[in-house]
């Protein structure tokens, strides 16, 4: 028996501006790509050309039958020079939001998703003394211009990934490798969120505001091995919980420091979870176990992890809705994505948790940051050369779930039953046990 009913959880899909829009915005990621840091040599200039294909893409969202769409804004387009706002860019986003409204799709808009205007980056990014004021100036302008069309906002996407990849591992711009600086970035981003949360509520009292937190499971390789257990707890705290607590509650705990002027409070209207995988831990270097089910990038497929994380959050904040702001998998041939969606949504439906939204990552194959175009997470296939869009089987499966309010026996037989997960990553093979964090 494969069918189930998806009670009280509405479906959406998620995207980020830099990953789909295409074009020559002056951002740190455009420069990073020009400098040759992308695995396959691609750049965000191509992506899926969404900037010029909004109408076509909204039709595809209609085909998917989703009621919700998480989209990002490209800060560099909106504010190409410090304090100078581009009315045409703002109008472009207004048009897009109006088209979404006409299609009956509710937007959830992300203000910051990894990418910075070059002028902000070169001034020190979030480490600059004026970073908070600068981000608030951008936020204020955007909310004043678009707030009548948007009720739900995400201030920052995955601050911990932004901080670790850019400032600890040095794999993302600005390519720094320093723990102290990483903690400083976590600190500032938490303050930025709190200030932006307050500002958005001042401007639009009815708005709902949160953060899309990248949360993962760090599991000790051996359950009773003291070093493994200790390392898993420490990584969980340092990588995600400390900054998440600060952002949610205004309580900054070690290694963060309570900022002057920020009081403990409640700085979220929903709990946003981006969930992808579990890491196995023996020391402070995480890894992926051997002989387990993985996606194309070698990330362990572990749908139970989302429920474990959501339950823990729910126990701590029982009265707050949970939005799965991202969940998906890299599967270039669409060989197991339907099973992935099925396994994840079935667990959600059985969990009894207030998971009100599930935004699948992602709508259409896109530009996956340092990995480039090779990692395909989309429900819709994009031929990057011709920009032709084709609905995948997993897209049809997802559309059926949206239409039927769950998975029918027939859909299970057609899309899921024959699919199995792979046990080897198919992109960029590397030695087993290599740290991934992402």
Q: How far apart are the first and last CA of the chain?
A: 34
Q: Which is nearer to ligand IFM, 16 or 211 (CB)?
A: 16
Residues 38/30, Cβ–Cβ less than 8 Å:
no
Please, what sign has the CA dihedral across residues 294, 300, 305, 306? negative
Q: Distance from CA of residue 270 to its chain's centroid?
A: 15
Strand 355-361 and strand 152-157: the pairing is unpaired
Element of type H or E holding 165: helix 159-167
376-405 positions binding ligand IFM, by CB under 6 A: 377
Closest to 159 in 3D by CA, of 192, 124, 206, 128 = 192
Shortest separation between residue 437's beta carbon and ligand IFM, angstroms? 11
Q: Which is nearer to ligand IFM, 252 or 275 (CB)?
A: 275
Q: Does 437 sit near ligand IFM (CB under 6 A)?
A: no
Q: Does 331 sit near ligand IFM (CB under 6 A)?
A: no
Q: Does 326 sit near ligand IFM (CB under 6 A)?
A: yes
Kindly give the interhelix angle for 337-351 and 304-316, rounded to the nearest 10 degrees.
30
Q: Distance from CA of residue 412 to its chain's centroid?
A: 27
Shortest separation between residue 102's beta carbon and ligand IFM, angstroms? 27
Q: Does 16 sit near ligand IFM (CB under 6 A)?
A: yes
Distance CA 157, CA 274 (A): 9
Closest to 399 in 3D by CA, of 381, 379, 414 = 379
Strand 208-214 and strand 152-157: the pairing is parallel
Q: Which is nearer to ligand IFM, 232 or 324 (CB)?
A: 324
Closest to 18 in 3D by CA, of 150, 114, 132, 130 = 114
Q: Does 361 sit near ligand IFM (CB under 6 A)?
A: yes
Q: Does 190 sit near ligand IFM (CB under 6 A)?
A: no
Distance CA 283, CA 162 (A): 22
Q: Does 368 sit near ligand IFM (CB under 6 A)?
A: yes
Is the bond into 255 cis (omega within 30 degrees of 0)?
A: yes
Residue least distant from ligand IFM (Cβ): 16
Q: Which is nearer to ligand IFM, 18 or 231 (CB)?
A: 18
Residues that bind ligand IFM (rule: CB under 6 A) add up to a total of 8
Q: Which is nearer to ligand IFM, 76 or 132 (CB)?
A: 76
Q: Does 274 sit near ligand IFM (CB under 6 A)?
A: yes
Residue 41: other Cβ atoms inside 10 A: 10
Shortest separation between residue 436's beta carbon and ligand IFM, angstroms? 11
Read off φ and ψ for residue 64, nearest 5 degrees: -70, -20
Shortest separation between residue 224's beta carbon and ligand IFM, angstroms? 32
Residues 166/172, Cβ–Cβ less than 8 Å:
yes
Q: Does 215 sit near ligand IFM (CB under 6 A)?
A: no
Shortest separation between residue 352's beta carbon and ligand IFM, angstroms? 26
Q: Which is nearer to ligand IFM, 145 or 368 (CB)?
A: 368
Q: Which is nearer to ligand IFM, 302 or 377 (CB)?
A: 377
Task: Out of 21, 158, 286, 343, name the contact with ligand IFM by CB under 6 A.
Answer: 158
Shortest separation between residue 274's beta carbon and ligand IFM, angstroms? 5
Q: Which is nearer to ligand IFM, 231 or 274 (CB)?
A: 274
Q: Which residues are near ligand IFM by CB under 6 A? A: 16, 19, 158, 274, 326, 361, 368, 377
């Amino acid at each position: 028996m494969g069918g189930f009913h998806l009670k009280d959880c509405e479906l959406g899909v998620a995207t980020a501006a830099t990953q789909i829009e295409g074009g020559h915005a002056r951002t740190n990621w455009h420069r990073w790509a020009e400098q040759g840091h992308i695995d396959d040599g691609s750049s965000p200039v191509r992506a899926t050309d969404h900037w010029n294909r909004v109408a076509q893409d909204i039709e595809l969202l209609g085909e998917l039958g989703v009621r919700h769409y998480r989209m990002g804004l490209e800060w560099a387009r909106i504010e190409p020079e410090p304090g100078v706002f581009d009315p045409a860019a703002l109008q472009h986003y207004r048009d897009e939001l109006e088209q979404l409204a006409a299609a009956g799709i509710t937007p959830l808009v992300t203000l910051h998703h990894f990418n910075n205007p070059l002028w902000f980056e070169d001034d020190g990014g979030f480490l600059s003394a004026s970073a908070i004021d600068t981000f608030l100036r951008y936020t204020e302008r955007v909310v004043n211009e678009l707030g009548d069309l948007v009720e739900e906002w995400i201030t920052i996407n995955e601050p911990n990934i932004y901080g670790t990849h850019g400032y600890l591992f040095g794999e993302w711009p600005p390519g720094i490798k320093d723990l102290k600086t990483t903690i400083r970035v976590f600190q500032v981003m938490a303050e930025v969120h709190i200030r932006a949360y307050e500002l958005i509520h001042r401007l639009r009292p009815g708005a709902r505001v949160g953060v899309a937190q990248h949360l993962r499971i760090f599991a000790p390789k051996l359950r009773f091995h003291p070093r493994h257990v200790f390392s898993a707890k420490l990584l969980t705290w340092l990588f995600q919980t400390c900054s998440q607590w600060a952002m949610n509650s205004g309580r900054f705990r070690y290694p963060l420091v309570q900022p002057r002027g920020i009081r403990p409070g409640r700085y979220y209207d929903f709990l946003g979870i981006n969930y992808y995988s579990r890491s196995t831990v023996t020391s402070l270097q995480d890894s992926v176990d051997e002989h387990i089910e993985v996606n194309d990038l070698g990330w362990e497929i572990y749908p139970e992890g989302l429920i474990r994380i959501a339950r823990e959050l729910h126990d701590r904040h029982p009265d707050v809705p949970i939005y799965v702001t991202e969940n998906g998998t890299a599967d270039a041939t669409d060989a197991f994505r339907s099973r992935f969606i099925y396994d994840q949504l079935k667990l959600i439906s059985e969990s009894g948790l207030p998971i009100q939204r599930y935004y699948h990552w992602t709508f259409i194959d896109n530009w996956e940051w340092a990995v480039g175009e090779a990692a395909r997470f989309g429900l819709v296939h994009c031929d990057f050369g011709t920009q032709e869009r084709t609905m995948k089987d997993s897209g049809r499966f997802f559309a059926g779930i949206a239409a039927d309010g769950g998975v029918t026996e027939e859909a299970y037989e057609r899309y899921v039953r024959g699919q199995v997960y792979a046990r080897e990553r198919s992109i960029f093979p590397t030695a087993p046990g290599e740290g991934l964090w992402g």
